[in-house]
Amino acid sequence: MPSISTKGINMPESPIRKLVPYAENAKKKGIEVFHLNIGQPDIKTPDVALEAIKNNTIEVLAYGRSEGSEKYRQKLANYYVQHKINITANEIVVTTGGSEALLFAMGSICDPGDEIIIPEPFYANYNGFSTASGVQIVPVISKIEDNFALPSISDFEKLITSKTKAILICNPGNPTGYLYSKEEIEKLAEIVKKHDLFLIADEVYREFIYDDDAKHQSVLHNFGLEENAIIIDSVSKRYSMCGARIGCLISKNKEVLNTALKFAQARLCPPTLALIASEAALETPQSYFDEVTVEYKSRRDVLISELSSIEGVKVASPKGAFYCVVELPVDNADKFAQWLLEDFNLNSQTVMVAPAAGFYSSKGFGTKQIRIAYVLKKEDLISSVKILKSAISEYNKI
Amino acid sequence: MPSISTKGINMPESPIRKLVPYAENAKKKGIEVFHLNIGQPDIKTPDVALEAIKNNTIEVLAYGRSEGSEKYRQKLANYYVQHKINITANEIVVTTGGSEALLFAMGSICDPGDEIIIPEPFYANYNGFSTASGVQIVPVISKIEDNFALPSISDFEKLITSKTKAILICNPGNPTGYLYSKEEIEKLAEIVKKHDLFLIADEVYREFIYDDDAKHQSVLHNFGLEENAIIIDSVSKRYSMCGARIGCLISKNKEVLNTALKFAQARLCPPTLALIASEAALETPQSYFDEVTVEYKSRRDVLISELSSIEGVKVASPKGAFYCVVELPVDNADKFAQWLLEDFNLNSQTVMVAPAAGFYSSKGFGTKQIRIAYVLKKEDLISSVKILKSAISEYNKI
C-alpha cells in the first residue's frame, strides 16, 4: 500500500474533534449541550449581504479575478482608510477566508524549515497552516497571570535565529482576547525592523473591542512597517459570515504582494457568490456594529463576573474578540472536557469547551486551561457557568 | 527589507497573465478579442442551481463541516454510483474547487522533494500546486503526433525513483483533450501497483466526451486501485459553475482520506453558499447535459475541421474536455500570441490564445504550440480560425 507523507502524519487534528462524538452521544441521551467551544457567532448576518445574494442576476457563475474584483478591492480599501489603514486596492489580494491568506503569507516568505515566532497560546489552526507549509512555529510564552500581554523584547530576541522569517500576532487575540497596546506594537516594530523580519498580523477581530479606553492598533498604522507588515483579514467575524470564506492579505511590500498573487493565480479565484455578499456587506450600517458590540460587551462582562465567582478559577480579562482563556482547578482540562460530555449533566444540560492545550505548541502548557467562546446569549452563558461550577466541584470529588 | 522565499520566487506566473495587458490595449483600440485562451465556458449555469441560491433562507452564514455537509456528500456519492464509481459519502472530502483537492492530495502523500510523474503537456496550475507543496514534477512526454496518448510503460518506469510518490493524469485532458482508454488505465494500474504509487486522476471533464464509441474510464472503476487511486473532481465545468469553487477529493484509502481531512479542518470549511448551489446542481436534468454535449461536439468538429484547413498546422484530435493543442507554422507561439494582440487585426478583430509552453515543465517543449479552448459559439470559432489563418500568413511575411 502506498504510504502518506510525514507532513500528512504531522498535520494536527482539530483540538476539539475528538470531543465531537462525546457531544453527539450526550445529545442522543437527551442532554442539552451549550457550545462554548467554537467561534461561530449566533449574530445574524447583515440583511444587506443576504439580500445581495438573493437578488443576484448571475447567469454564468464564472471565474472572477484571482486577486478579487477591482470593484470589491476598491471598496475594501475605502473601509481600511476609514480605519486609518492607508492602503489602495492594489495592495490587497482577496483570499478564500483568512485561512488562505495565512497560507499565502507563509508560502510567500518561508521555505521549509524557516521559523515564525508566535506568542502562545495562539489560534490552533496556525499549527495546521505551518505544517502544511513546512514552517516551524517557535512559540514565545505569554502568561494568564499577565493577562497574556506581549512577552518582553528579550524573550523574542532569545528565539531569533537565521531561520526566523516573521513574528505572527493575532490582535485582538484568539484565544486570549488580549488587545495589544500602541507601546506593544511599537516594541514589535522595533524587533522586526532590527532583525529584518516580517510582522504578520491577524486582525480579523479588529471591530470586536469592548472598552471605551481601548483602541485597535493595526500594524499598518503609523509604525513605519510598510516593508515588514502583512495583514490577514476576513469577513467571517465582522459580518457573522464565517461560511462565506472571503478574506484578504494586505501588504505594502510589492514583492510580498506579487508573490501572494502567484499563489492566488494557481487556485484561480475566490468564491464568486461569497464575494457578492462581501461587497454588499461593506454597506452594513454602523448601527449593526454598535448593537453587536453592546451585545458582546455585556456577554463578556457577565461571563467574566460569573467565572470569577468560582473558587480556584483563574480568568484572563479579555479586551477584544469573543474568547477567553480560563484556568480551572482540575487535574487535566482535556479529561475534564470529555467527562463533562460523557458523565455529567446538571438538570439535563452540560457544556462543551475547547481544552486549551491545542492552542499551545509547547508540550505540557495550558493543560488546566480551556478556551470559552462567548458566542451565546447571556442567559445561556449564565447557565453554562453554573454547570461548569457544579461540574468542577463534582469532578474533584471523584 | 525582509526577503520573500525561494518557494515564492519559484511560484510560476499564470502563463497567459503577461498577455493580459496586450489584450486590454487591443480592446482600448476598439479591436474585438476572441478569447480562446481560457476554459471559462459561455454555457449557462443550470437554473436549479441559480434558483437555490436566490431562494436560500440563511440568516447566519455559518461555518459548515470541514469535509462538506453529510447531505451533500450523500447525494454526491449517488452521482458517482450512477457513473459506476462505487463510493460512499465517507470517502469524499469536499474542497474549495478542484484546486484545493490537488493541494490536499499533494500534501497528504508528498514531503518536500518527493516526485510526481505527469504526462506532459499538463494543466499549467499543476506547476503552481507542486511548487507550493514542495513537490517535484517529473514530466513524461506525450506527443501531438500520437494525439497525446499515454506514453509507454517503459517511459514511465525509466523515471520512477525512490522519491516517486504518484502518477497524476487529467482525463479527459486539459490541455490535450485526450481520453485515456481502458487499456491505458490498465497500464497505469499495473505500474502504480507494481511500484506502490498513488494514481491521482483529475476527472473534472468526465462528462465532456463527444464520440459515441468513447467512454470515460475512472480510476475507481474496476481496476483494483482501491488503495492507490485519488480522484480530483469539481463542479466548475460540469455545471458551468467555475466561480462556485466547489470540488472534492475522493479516495477509498482511509489513511489518505483521514489525512486530507486534517488539511480540510485547518481551513475550516468549503464556501457555504456555493455548496447550496452545488447540492442543487445535482438535480440538473439530463437534457441540460445532452444539449451541452451536442453543442461542444459541434464546436469541436467545426474547430478541428477549420484548423486542419490551414497549411502547416498540426492539430491533435480531442475526444473530450473542451481544449485542443495546435502546433502552428510560426517560429515561437509566445511571440506570435503577443503579436496577435499587439500588431494584428482582421477587420478589427483578433484572437487571444494560450501559448502551450506553459503546459510543459520541460524547457523548450511546446514552443510552437498553443492551447485553444472551444468555449465560444460556432460562428465565433469560425471567425477565430479565419483570423488565425490570416495572421499566420501575415506573421510569416515579417
Query: For chain A (length 398 residues), average pLDDT per consecutive 10?
Result: 95 85 93 92 95 97 94 98 97 98 98 97 96 97 96 97 98 97 97 98 96 94 98 97 98 98 96 98 96 96 95 93 96 97 97 95 94 94 97 94
Pairing status of strand A247-250 against strand A92-95: antiparallel
> What is the C-alpha separation between B200 and B101, in angstroms, rounded?
11
Which runs of consecutive H residues, i.e. helices, occur in A222-376? Answer: 254-266, 272-281, 286-308, 333-342
Confidence (pLDDT) at A40:
86
Which amino acid makes up residue B318?
P
> What is the C-alpha separation between B225 and B199, in angstroms, rounded?
8
Type and span of the H or E element at A389:
helix A378-395
Mean pLDDT, residues B282-304 taken together: 96
Burial (CB count <10 Å: 0-12, 13-18, 19+), residue B145: exposed
Could you tell me the CA-to-CA distances from A301 to A288, A296, A297, A378 in Å, in that order? 20, 8, 6, 10
Could you tell me the CA-to-CA distances from A234 to A49, A64, A294, B19 in Å, in that order? 15, 18, 21, 31
The whole-chain average pLDDT of chain B stands at 96
Query: Which residues of chain B does A111 touch, with a Cβ-Cβ cutoff of 8 Å?
Result: 5-7
Contacts with B, A 210-229, CB within 8 Å: 227-228
Confidence of residue B255 (pLDDT cuts 50, 70, 90): very high
> What is the C-alpha separation between A193 and B144, in angstroms, rounded?
54
Q: How many CB pairs under 8 A join A and B?
A: 265
User: Under an 8 A CB cutoff, do B243 and A62 touch?
Assistant: yes
Query: Which residues of chain A does B14 touch, with a Cβ-Cβ cutoff of 8 Å?
Result: 66, 262, 265
Confidence of residue B14 (pLDDT cuts 50, 70, 90): confident
Nearest to A197 among B2, B55, B259 (CB): B2
Report CA torsion sign: B248, B249, B255, B259.
negative
Query: Which residues of chain B does A8 touch, with a Cβ-Cβ cutoff of 8 Å?
Result: 107-109, 259, 262-263
Expressed in angstroms, the distance from the first to the final Cα of chain A is 46
The set of residues, in sequence order, having a beta carbon less than 8 Å from that of A20 and lying 6+ positions away, is: none
Query: Which residues of chain A does B242 touch, with a Cβ-Cβ cutoff of 8 Å?
Result: 61-63, 268
User: Under an 8 A CB cutoff, do A265 and B13 touch?
Assistant: yes
User: Under an 8 A CB cutoff, do B270 and A245 touch?
Assistant: yes
User: Under an 8 A CB cutoff, do B273 and A274 touch?
Assistant: yes
Confidence of residue B302 (pLDDT cuts 50, 70, 90): very high
Burial (CB count <10 Å: 0-12, 13-18, 19+), residue A277: buried
Confidence (pLDDT) at B17:
77
Residue B285: pLDDT above 90?
Answer: yes
Domains identified in chain A and CATH numbers: 6-44+287-395 (3.90.1150.10), 47-281 (3.40.640.10)
Confidence of residue B297 (pLDDT cuts 50, 70, 90): very high
DSSP B332-380: -HHHHHHHHHHT--BTTEEEE-EEGGGG-SSTTSSTTEEEEE--S-HHH
Render pLDDT for B317-349 as a digit per residue (tens, 0 to 9): 899 999 999 999 999 999 999 999 999 999 999
> What is the C-alpha separation between B319 and B314, in angstroms, rounded?
16
The structure's pTM equals 0.96
User: Under an 8 A CB cutoff, do A259 and B4 touch?
Assistant: yes
Confidence of residue B36 (pLDDT cuts 50, 70, 90): very high
Instruction: Determine contact: B112 vs chain A, CB below 8 A.
Output: yes
